[in-house]
Amino acid sequence: MGTEHAHHSPPVAGCEAAERMPTTAQTMLQTYLDAEAKILRGQSVRMGERMLTLADLSMVQDGRREWEAKVKAEAAGAQGQSSLFALADFSGGGHSHCEGFRR
């Protein structure tokens, strides 16, 4: 009886929807991409209380880059990676700069 339930158990609530719903970082990135495209076409864009024009393009591009980095960090975290750390190689492949740390 217990194995019967294991095969027919319902999906965990919210898991499928969470995969399809954009994160805050993805939504903000899209907002900045849209604003950048409109500004480059000569249109003005309202973000909050502010009207942005070609003169504000570099600020919009800076914001886009910031949100791109956040989306990339989220994607790396979702894959079990950390964008803040690199993997260390402790295989002993003759890295002389590590000699001082051996005891």
What pLDDT, on the 0 to 100 scale, is given for residue 36? Answer: 96
pTM as predicted:
0.57
- Candidates 40, 21, 28; CA nearest to 68 is 28
Structural domain contains residue 29: yes
Question: What's the number of domains the chain is made of?
Answer: 1
CA pair distance 9, 83, nearest whole angstrom: 35
Instruction: Give the CA radius of gyration of the chain.
Output: 23
Structural domain contains residue 9: no
Structural domain contains residue 65: yes
pLDDT in tens, 19-56: 678 899 999 999 999 999 999 999 999 999 999 999 99
Structural domain contains residue 2: no
pLDDT in tens, 60-90: 999 999 999 999 999 888 777 655 555 566 6
Domain assignment of residue 43, given as a range: 15-79
Beta strand 50-52 with 45-47 is antiparallel
Structural domain contains residue 48: yes
